[in-house]
Structures are given as structure tokens and as C-alpha cells.
Structure 1
Amino acid sequence: MTSPNHNEDPRLADLLEVIFKFAAGDLTARGTLSDDESALDGVMAGINILGEELEANVAGNKQAQEASLESENRLRTVLESVQAGIVIIDPEAHRIVDVNSFAVRMIGAPKESIIGAVCHKFICPAEWDQCPVTNLHQTVDNSERVLLTATGERRDIIKTVTAIQLGGRSHLLESFIDVTERKRTEEALRANEESYRQLFESSRDALMTLAPPSWRFTSANQATLELFGAASTAAFTELGPWKVSPERQPDGRSSDEKAQEMIATAMREGKNFFEWEHQRLDGSPFPADVLLTRMDVGGEVFLQATVRDITERKRAEQALSESEALLRTIFDSVQDGILLAEVQSQKFIMVNDSICRMLGYSRDELLELGVEDIHPEKDVGNVVLQMARLAKNEISLAPNLPVKRKDGTVFHADINGTTIQVKGISFLVGVFRDITERQRAEQAEELASRDGLTNLYNHRRFYSFLKDEIIRTQRFNRPVSLLMLDIDHFKRVNDTYGHQAGDAIIKGLSDLQVQQARTVDRVCRYGGEEFMVILPETDATMAMQIAERLRATVERQPFDIGGGMMVRITVSIGVATYPQQANALEEFVKAADLALYAAKEGGRNRVTRYEAAMAGKD
């Protein structure tokens, strides 16, 4: 480029700098529409001065004509390099006489089809009939208009119109820039802001914003005012977070200090979720969940706070905690041992203190074990089978299972079990009751109920059995019969062979009766050489058959009394049936006794059934 003419307008140097910055894109930074308007103003001012310079140089001498050519070239250079569409219009015909390359690209048509066209074909098509620019001295600055491209697409533009002199005639120079995308962005932003505002105001959660550096509240929705008891947004926005909090938080820290820390975390990490003790304006405290979210909008940074009152949740948590503590106390204080095992793995996941004491393990040790670890190896198969039946609810009690302590000793327990479902996983709750003491008591009871010589149930246990059978008979309306048996001439045996021989015969006869008895029958030693046999669900006819078979067997059976000697004996048996022949337990026994007496009176070695006539012979 040649040196500028010394007669140039002194404004030209500065304006050329503006023009070429615009041409280089320096003034098209992404900003508001006003930024584009300012840049466009600079371009137009520079072009106008170049136009004036060009016009002034036209009338001079050869040197002036050369300067004019130089000015024209400079104008063309600017028109082609500037980042804006420029058209030069004949104001009388409203036709385009020149256009720069940027405008060609914006319109999307060949340059030759643009030049000569009516300007309103492309620029401001709605103004074809009534163009507002009719005065060549009238300018239009930064007016929002529409550009119609060759494909029919409507684009938003900002247009500036000014009059220039070219070739001795006045022309209109229109410069415009495309702001379609920017307007769309701004409209979307406004729509988003409106949507945000609507969501902000309608949210059931308390929403508020805080801005640096004071971090006071700058806005609040209606839910916030209701939550904190504020009369208005204006009143609330005079406060900061520490003003709606007690002096100290539950951890003892200052609310002011801790609030600043929470804010700093949110600014650094983008968000911060935490529990906070808030305080209403009337001084009443309440717990809250707080979410601080960093917001970057339009170059401004602030925080949005979402506050949710969790008073009810805290109460529920407290109630649950107290309930769990109570259940844990009960769980650990019951005397029975309790285990919770996962059904599939059979591993323990919860144990109480009683089972720990019962097995001799610490809680942590026991939680490392499973079902198979607390039972003798030889019994594991049966135990696993019983646990499976409990898990399937086929049974509710697995009785008398062997359980192995940590030291290897074994005790027996009744195990009650049930299954529960937690989040789709099956668990077996096992309740262990150590039956060691019960077994000892039962053994002691058994010993007390047995005859020392014969090991048959004794006189006392006989009456217990008979009472139970009478109750069962009354409930199910089924008969029960009673055999009362006595050894014939037993005194003679004792006198002849001695008491040891008599004991041997009593023992041998006891064993024989047990062998002959059915599974449900009860054989008892009533006293001396007398025996009682309880026959459940047996009528008089069947009882007579059983008694006769027993009598005959005894008669055939020799009894070893020691020293290689064998002795034969006979027995007499009385038979009675309830309820046909008695209405009460005592009457029932008495009837059998009378029948036995009748058998002996009748010659011994026989079976006699009770008859009502026998009662008169008592």
C-alpha cells in the first residue's frame, strides 16, 4: 500500500485501524448485539471517510487523479476484507451496483446475479413497497432487519445505511452483519431463564441463591419464605446462611465458620451436599438436607442452595434407631441362642450373646463360621437336611440335634427355625435351646419312673400313663383296656427256691411281657408279683385275646433261676375295658383287680373279664 495522501482527513488513520481490526475479526468477539453494532459503526465511519477522500480527489489534477485511484483501491480493499456484508445501492432505482465478497457469501448467489437486482429482493424484503430510506442525507444506524438468501432462508441482520459520493453521484452504502445465531442463542437463553425462574418459583423445595463476596442471599422462592418464616423476599435477601442457623452446628462448630467452608467446597467442586442445622426466623431449629450448586451464567458466578426440611425423616430415623436398640437388647438378652444364616451359603451374619456363650465363641469368631462348623462331623449330613427342611418351612422344629462347642464338647439342642426375605435374599433364623438340663431332668424322671429290678415303669408312672390314655379315649371316643397280671403261688416259689430265684422269675416275666407287647402298649410293675399292661385303642374282645396269648406263652416258658435250674410258672390275668366297664380311673383299676381276683378264685392260670356282678363281691 502506498503512503497516504497528505491531504487525507486526520480521522482516517485511526479509523483505518478500526476497519482493519474488524476485517481481521478482532471486533466480532462473541458478545451482545451492541458489540456488533459498535463494530459496524466503526466500519461505516472509515468507509465514509474513504468515500469522501475518493470524491475529493476526483476533481484535481493528474496527481489528484492518481490519489483518487489509490483511494478507490483502498476502498475496494476495505470492502473485500471487512467481516460484514456491504452493498452499494443506486438510491433512485433501489438497485445494487456493487457488493463485496462477504455479502455474496451471505446472500448465497453469484455476484453477477446480485448486481443490478433490486436491493429489497435480498435486503429488507418486507420494505419493497415502502423503503424507509428516501432521503440521501438520512442514515440508518444499527437497525435490526431481515436478509433473504437466494435459497429463501430468512436471516436476522443488523444494518447500517449511509450516503456516500461515488463517481460524482450520491449512493447508499448498506453494511450488515448476520446475528441470526446470536439472536437464537439469546432467545434460548431468555427461554431457559424463564423456565428456570418458573421452576425456581414453583419448586416445593426451598430454593435460594447466594452471591459473592458477601454470600448473602440474592433471591428466594415462596417455599423458602414459608420454610424460614420470612415475610418477603426483600426481608430474606438481607440475610446470609449464618443468620438462618443456630450459633453452632451439632458438631460444636460455629455456623458462620462452617458455612464458609461448605461454600468454599461447593465453589471448588461444583456442588456440595450435606446435612445442616437451620433455624427459622422465630428461632426454632430444624434439620435440613442442603445442596449447594455452583452456577456460571453470563460471566457471573453464584451458588444455588436447595434446602429440604428433614425433621420427619430424622424422627423416623430416631424411632428406628431406638427400635433397633430395643430389638438388639432383646436379641442379646434372651436365654435362647439365636443365629441368622444366609440360606444359600449357610454362613452366619448375625448372632446374639446367648449363642456365643452357648458355643464358647466370641461374636467375631462366630461370624466367620457357618452351619457345618458348629455340629459334629458325623452328624453334619442330618443337620444340613434338617436346616433345609426348616428353610423350606416343611418343619418349624428340628429336635434334639447335636451341637459342637468351640472346645469340641457336644450338647443337644432343639432348633426352631423360620425363613425371612431381605432384599430378595433368603435368611434362616435359628433359635437354639440347650436341652441338656431338660435331658438330665427327663433322665432323672425316667429313673424315678422305673422299677429298679425289672426296668419297667413303676406304680406311679402307671397311673400317669393311664390318666393320659383315658383323656385320649374321651377325646377320640376310642376304648382302652387294662390287663392286671399276678404270678400264681409266687410265695411258694420264694419259699422253695429263695428270694433271688423269685427276683429272677419276676425279671424274666417282665422281659417276656415286653417282648409280647405291641409298640403302643405300656407294661408296668404294679407291685410285688403284680403287673399292669395298658392296651390303647383296644376293646374287650381283643384284650381277652391278647391276655390269653400272654397267659399261654408264660405257661410254656421255663424261667432260669440260676445254678442251671429252670422253673415253670403260671399267671392269672384280669381284664377290664374303659369306658364300657368303668367311668373313672379308680373304677377302671378296681374293675381289673376284681377280674384278677375272680381268675384266682376260679382256679388260677386263667384269664377273666370283668363283669358287673363282680362289684357286689368286693
Structure 2
Amino acid sequence: MTSKVMELYFPEDLIQAIETRAKATSTDQNTVVVDILVSAFGLPSSSQVPVTEGQLVEELVEEKTSQLSLANMLLQAEIVKRKQISATLSQEKEFISALIRNLPIGVISTDESGKILLVNSAYEEICGYSSQELVGQSPPYFYWDVANQEGIYETFLRSLSGQSEKIELWFTRKNGERFLAQLHPIALFDAYGNLLHHLAVIIDITEGRQAEKALQESEEKYRSLFELANDSILIIDAETQGFLNVNWNAARRLGYTRSEVLNLAIEDISLPMSAQRQQALEQELRINGNVVFEHIYRCKDGVEIPVEISSQIIEYDNRLAIQSFVRDISKRKRTREAFQKQREIRQTIFEHIPILIFFFDADCQIQLINRETEEVLGWSLAELQKIDLWSQCYPHPEYRQMVIEHMQTADAGWQDFQTRVRDGRLLDISWTTVQLSDGTLIGIGRDVTQRKHSERELRQAHSELEERSEKLIELNHQLQSTLEELRTAEEELLVQNETIAKAHQQLEIEVRHYQDLFDLAPDAYLLTDSEGVIEEANQAAAELLSCEQEHLLGKALKEFIPPGERRAFLGKLSKIREPQSPYTYQLRLKLRSDASQQIVAKVNAKHNLNKKILGFRWLMRQLVTEHSESA
């Protein structure tokens, strides 16, 4: 008989019975097991030894006893095994039940009619109903969407028939909130194919679907932005430097079709750059993830355009790529160059204009000066920043404060101040201030020393002219008074006539000379009688009063004063009869165009030798700066 090796596992009590039998028969345990199995299955013994009848009966009894003992041991082993299986099944049932209860996805169990047998806590949370409300309910369930109950019921019936396709349905929670659910129906059968239960797994996919929709909208928006962006957008393979994608704007500006661009590499459109610069840009891109720089691209037709490139590292189709936003900066560069040119022009004007210009802050600290300021005042910018300019130029405290207050007031107009410069000279400088939008103050000055000197000389010449005019007038009266005497002394007159004629000729020349000075003077001069009637006026007076020069003669000066101000004017005129002179007034003149203008008038009274007022001399000037009215 062929032998095979087998490994058998027996319960502890069966092993003890085998050991007892082996000792009783003085055989090994394997022989006992083999003999029992041969006897149990009716197989022929491995050895044929003649036995007596008593031995045969005894062996038969032992054999049956062994068979019963073995059967009992096998039965006990089966009982133990079934208990173990029952315990295992119980544990598995508890495990599955606990698993279902604690699953993060909703699970529902129904019978073949659709009656709910079980729901887990996730299902309660998804639907908003408790298990007490749901268990035992038959279709339609509470959470079915009222507007689509018929469609949901048809889908439910298909799932009961054993169809297990994935289902998406809109349900309504207990609080009225609608949600999109994904159901996975599962039919459970026993070993004989009988339906035991229906299970269904439910997942709330509302947020996921919304996220998908948002992602889709975001992708559509990105595609729209990508295609409609004003900038050119290039996506470049970080390894091969070939184009992975470009927008329509990039292809259009480079003069290619999109398919043509996608067959190019970046070096086909980019002008070469130094290896050092390229390494620096690559390092910055690698460290920071983005880089912005200016470069030049070459179009298909060979035209080169300056561009600003903003590049960043992205992942595109599962590979590293460089996304570049490219902007044509041709216009910006032209603007920048024009701005630079204007700046150079302004700087050149600032340095060479014969006007004093300096920048200072609200505390009157000097920040910048031009060349003219340095030359006129005598200090450089570095020196001015170490000294108090105002104390140096205006030593008197009260006068200095008046200057500072004027300079701190923007758009206050021009005002003349006597200014001491570095070499000790006193200059007449007219100052004004303008203010920039950022609060910076700019002082602007002009040296009017020469003009002031000319004005003083002009006033002195005018005074001398007036004195000579008075003398000539007085001489004329004297000549008139002696005319009769001259007639009676014809011989004497004939002798003196030639002398007088020469003197008169010289007098006319001088009168004509001073008359020319009078007519061509830049300021307005008037001569009126004691009542204010105009007797003489120069061309400047005619222009100031907007009246023809010949039409001024014989007109009363008060006619050029607004009606409401004439009383005050006549009152001022009456004061001039007092022996004090000269007088300075601010007057408003009414012009023929119904416009008006402010003037400053200086007035002297004309006296004869007996101190009788013969008339008035008027010097008028359009008001430019504010003056205090003095008397």
C-alpha cells in the first residue's frame, strides 16, 4: 500500500486518548492513528497476522470502541469548531455593525419592500432626520424631493430589482436645504440566492459638484483671461525651452500663427543675452519662483520690440514650465526717454536761468539752490546747509521775521526786501514763493537793485524836471511883467532881444527835452489844477486810464473814480492842501470797459512863491505788490 505523509491537528482531549491507546498496545502514536483510520474507513490492514476467535472478538470490540471514541472526538472537535465559527460570526457581525455605524458615509438598509431597517449616524447627518424618524418608514421617504418624487420612485424600484448602477438625485433635508446625493445600491443574497436585504451607500456630493463647477468656471475664466489678455502669455517647457502654449495675442504681436509659434523655441524670438545675466535671472527664478526683467524680442518680420517679462515657475501637464507675461514697452520707453529729455531741459534751465531759485521745507531749511542763487548770495548749497541763511541775509530780527512769513506764504506775490549778501553788499531782491503738490516750497527771487537805482534816478530827474518847470513858469511870468518895460525901452529891448531870443530858444529846447521825458516816462504822470482837472498827461497815463491822451486834458480826475468812492477821493484830495507832502494812496480806477484796476498814486502839491496851491502833480502805477497806505 502506497504511503503519504499527512499533518493532522487534533483537540487536546483526543491527543490524550491516542497517547493512552499507544501505551496500552505498546505501539507509537502514529500507528494508533493509522489503525483507527484504516478500521474506520474499512481498509485492509497492512499486515495479515493469524488471530484466534477470542482475539478477533477482543479486537473487534476494541475496534468499535476506538471507532466510537474517534467519532466522539471528531464530534467534539466539530462542536468546538462550530462554536469558534459562531463566535467569529458574532464578532464579525458586531464589527460590521460598528463599522456601518461609524462609517463617514451614509448607509441605509431596507427589506425587499423598501421598508427602512437601519441607518447609520452619517446618514442621519446627511438627511437631517434621526434613525427613530427613518427606521420603519416606507417609500416615499421624508427627504425625497417633492418636485421629483415620481422620478425618484422609479429609480428606487430599479435599485430594488437588483440594478446596482450609481445614482445621483436631489434630496431635501429636514431644514429644507436641498442637496445632491450620490447613491450606490447593493443587494444582499443568501447562499441559496434569496434576497436578504437592500443596502445603499449615500454620499453628499453637493460641495464636490459645486467645487467641480467652480473649477470648471475657473478653468473657463482662466482660458478666457489667457486668450483675451492684453499681454502676451507664453508657457515654456523648463527643460527643452520649447513653447507648450501661447495665447492669441502673443502670436499676433510676434507676427506668427499659433501653430507656428508652438514649433519654435524661446531662442527663436529672444535676442541673445550675456551668460552672466542669464544665469542671474535663472538663479532668481529658481530661488524666488518669479522674476521680472526687460529684454528684446524679434518678430517674424525682423522688427525688434522692447518688452517687460514677468516669469514664474508653474506645473503644466505634469511637467515644470515657465509662464511668462510679456508686455510691449515701446511706448513706455519712448515716454521714459521723453521724460528724461524734459528733465534734462528743466535741469539746464534751472541751472542757467538768471533768476534765484531755491527749494526749502516748512521750517525754512534750504534743500536745493541753483547756480544764480549761489552767484548772487555768495554761498554754495553745502555752506547754506550749515548756516542760517535768513540770519545772514536779514540780521534785524523783526525784518527777518517779516521776510520769513512772506516766504512761507505761497502765492503771496512779489515783495522787495533789502538783502545782505556774503560780501556785505545790500541788494534789493524781490521774492515770491510757490508750493508744489507735495508741500515743497520754492523760493523765486530776482535782483532788482539796478531797477531800484534806475527808479531812484528817474524820480530824482522827475523832481528836477518839476523844479525846472516851475522856474520856467515863474520866469515866463517875469518876462510877461517886464514886457511893457521892454516896449518903452525899445532900444534897450533891441539890444536885449537877441539875448532873450537865444535864452528863449534854449528854454524851448529844455522844455521840449523835459516834455519828451515826461511823455515817454514808463509811469503815468498827470498835472491837475487845484480842483483836480487834468492839465497835462503823458502817454503812460493815457494807457493807464484807457483814454486818448488829447481827450484827457480838461477832464476831472474824479471822473475816473467809481461813483461810490468819489467822496473818499475828494476827502483825500482836500488833505493835500495841508503843507505835508508827498502823499501815497491806493485808488481804484473805473475804465471805459466797465472794468476796474487798483493803482498806487503819489501826489505833490504845486505852490507858487507865496505858498499858494496852483495844482497837483500825480505819479500813478498799477498795483503789483501790497503797500501800506501812508500819509
Instruction: Pick closer, same or farther for the CA change 1:439–1:394 going to 2, 3 Å.
Output: same
Any idea what SS the aligned residue of 2:379 has? coil
Q: Deviations over 1:539-592 (max 9, x none)?
A: 7xx44545x99xxxxxxxxxxxxxxxxxxxxxxxxx9x99xxxxxxxxxxxxxx
Aligned mates of 1:537, 1:123 — CA distance in 2: 111
- Identify which of 431, 448, 462 aligns with 1:417: 431
Give TM-score, length-normalised by structure 2. 0.54
Structure 1 position 347, deviation (Å) = 2.3
Instruction: Pick closer, same or farther for the CA change 1:215–1:403 going to 2, 3 Å.
Output: farther
Structure 1 position 370, deviation (Å) = 5.8
Aligned mates of 1:290, 1:353 — CA distance in 2: 42
Structure 1 position 304, deviation (Å) = 4.2
Q: Deviations over 1:228-262 (max 9, x none)?
A: 33322x333445555433213xxx66675455345
Structure 1 position 375, deviation (Å) = 0.6
- Verify the 8 A CA contact 1:341 1:428 in the aligned structure 2: yes
Aligned mates of 1:199, 1:217 — CA distance in 2: 19
**Equivalent in the alignment of 1:607:** none
By relative contact order (CA 8 Å, sep 6+), the higher-ranking structure is 1
**Equivalent in the alignment of 1:172:** 198
**Equivalent in the alignment of 1:571:** none
Residue 347 (structure 1) aligned with residue 371 (structure 2): no
Residue 402 (structure 1) aligned with residue 419 (structure 2): yes
Instruction: Pick closer, same or farther for the CA change 1:133–1:470 going to 2, 3 Å.
Output: closer
Aligned mates of 1:100, 1:395 — CA distance in 2: 89
Residue 385 (structure 1) aligned with residue 402 (structure 2): yes
Residue 190 (structure 1) aligned with residue 220 (structure 2): no
**Equivalent in the alignment of 1:430:** 444
Structure 1 position 371, deviation (Å) = 4.6
Instruction: Pick closer, same or farther for the CA change 1:260–1:196 going to 2, 3 Å.
Output: same
Any idea what SS the aligned residue of 1:264 has? helix
Match runs of 1:22-41 below 5 Å: none
Aligned mates of 1:474, 1:336 — CA distance in 2: 28
Aligned mates of 1:323, 1:225 — CA distance in 2: 36
**Equivalent in the alignment of 2:28:** none
Q: Deviations over 1:150-204 (max 9, x none)?
A: 4454433333233322596313332233333222222222222222322333332
- Verify the 8 A CA contact 1:207 1:220 in the aligned structure 2: yes
**Equivalent in the alignment of 2:47:** none
Q: Deviations over 1:366-408 (max 9, x none)?
A: 3555651441422x53244246446455542415x22232xxx
**Equivalent in the alignment of 1:227:** 253
Aligned mates of 1:75, 1:123 — CA distance in 2: 31
Residue 131 (structure 1) aligned with residue 156 (structure 2): yes
**Equivalent in the alignment of 1:115:** 135
- Identify which of 285, 289, 308 aligns with 1:289: 308
Residue 468 (structure 1) aligned with residue 487 (structure 2): no
Instruction: Pick closer, same or farther for the CA change 1:370–1:242 going to 2, 3 Å.
Output: farther
Match runs of 1:131-150 below 5 Å: 131=156, 133=158, 138-146=162-170, 148-150=172-174
Aligned mates of 1:75, 1:166 — CA distance in 2: 15
Instruction: Pick closer, same or farther for the CA change 1:272–1:352 going to 2, 3 Å.
Output: same
Any idea what SS the aligned residue of 2:345 has? helix
The more displaced of 65-74 and 413-422 is: 65-74
Instruction: Pick closer, same or farther for the CA change 1:467–1:238 going to 2, 3 Å.
Output: same
Instruction: Pick closer, same or farther for the CA change 1:177–1:259 going to 2, 3 Å.
Output: same
Q: Deviations over 1:405-429 (max 9, x none)?
A: 2xxx312333343433322525233
- Aligned-pair identity in percent equals 16
Unpaired stretches in structure 2, ≥5 consecutive residues: 1-8, 10-77, 465-505, 529-534, 537-578, 584-602, 618-631
Q: Deviations over 1:467-492 (max 9, x none)?
A: 53465699646568xxxxxxxxxxxx
Which amino acid is the alignment partner of residue 425 of structure 1? G
**Equivalent in the alignment of 2:92:** 74
Which amino acid is the alignment partner of residue 354 of structure 1? E
Match runs of 1:328-343 below 5 Å: 328-342=347-361
Instruction: Pick closer, same or farther for the CA change 1:327–1:130 going to 2, 3 Å.
Output: closer
Aligned mates of 2:208, 2:374 — CA distance in 1: 75
- Verify the 8 A CA contact 1:412 1:436 in the aligned structure 2: no
Match runs of 1:518-597 below 5 Å: 542-543=607-608, 545=610
Q: Deviations over 1:116-168 (max 9, x none)?
A: 323652579542145353675x4424443455544454433333233322596
Instruction: Pick closer, same or farther for the CA change 1:395–1:337 going to 2, 3 Å.
Output: closer
Any idea what SS the aligned residue of 1:350 has? strand
Any idea what SS the aligned residue of 1:410 has? coil
Which amino acid is the alignment partner of residue 356 of structure 1? E
**Equivalent in the alignment of 1:503:** none
Aligned mates of 1:384, 1:346 — CA distance in 2: 12
**Equivalent in the alignment of 1:85:** 106
Match runs of 1:211-290 below 5 Å: 212-214=238-240, 216-232=242-258, 234-239=259-264, 241-248=266-273, 256-257=278-279, 259-267=281-289, 271-290=290-309
Aligned mates of 1:439, 1:325 — CA distance in 2: 36
Structure 1 position 314, deviation (Å) = 1.9
Structure 1 position 103, deviation (Å) = 3.0
Q: RMSD in angstroms over aligned alpha carbons?
A: 4.8
Instruction: Pick closer, same or farther for the CA change 1:73–1:179 going to 2, 3 Å.
Output: farther
Aligned mates of 1:417, 1:315 — CA distance in 2: 38
Any idea what SS the aligned residue of 1:307 has? strand
Aligned mates of 2:283, 2:428 — CA distance in 1: 59
Any idea what SS the aligned residue of 2:158 has? coil
Aligned mates of 2:387, 2:430 — CA distance in 1: 20
Instruction: Pick closer, same or farther for the CA change 1:144–1:517 going to 2, 3 Å.
Output: closer
Any idea what SS the aligned residue of 1:177 has? strand
Any idea what SS the aligned residue of 1:377 has? coil
Any idea what SS the aligned residue of 2:181 has? strand
Structure 1 position 74, deviation (Å) = 0.9
Instruction: Pick closer, same or farther for the CA change 1:119–1:213 going to 2, 3 Å.
Output: farther
Aligned mates of 1:63, 1:394 — CA distance in 2: 114
- Verify the 8 A CA contact 1:242 1:259 in the aligned structure 2: no
Instruction: Pick closer, same or farther for the CA change 1:413–1:328 going to 2, 3 Å.
Output: farther
**Equivalent in the alignment of 2:66:** none
Structure 1 position 294, deviation (Å) = 5.6
Any idea what SS the aligned residue of 2:95 has? helix
**Equivalent in the alignment of 2:115:** 95
Any idea what SS the aligned residue of 2:156 has? coil
The more displaced of 322-331 and 288-297 is: 288-297
Greater C-alpha Rg: 2
Instruction: Pick closer, same or farther for the CA change 1:295–1:518 going to 2, 3 Å.
Output: same
Instruction: Pick closer, same or farther for the CA change 1:357–1:476 going to 2, 3 Å.
Output: closer
Instruction: Pick closer, same or farther for the CA change 1:266–1:106 going to 2, 3 Å.
Output: same
**Alignment size in residue pairs:** 416
Aligned mates of 1:118, 1:368 — CA distance in 2: 98
Any idea what SS the aligned residue of 1:103 has? helix
- Verify the 8 A CA contact 1:348 1:368 in the aligned structure 2: no
Aligned mates of 1:127, 1:183 — CA distance in 2: 20
Give TM-score, length-normalised by structure 1. 0.55
- Identify which of 179, 184, 209 aligns with 1:160: 184
Structure 1 position 466, deviation (Å) = 6.6
Unpaired stretches in structure 1, ≥5 consecutive residues: 1-5, 7-59, 451-458, 481-515, 521-535, 550-574, 579-618
Aligned mates of 1:186, 1:474 — CA distance in 2: 89
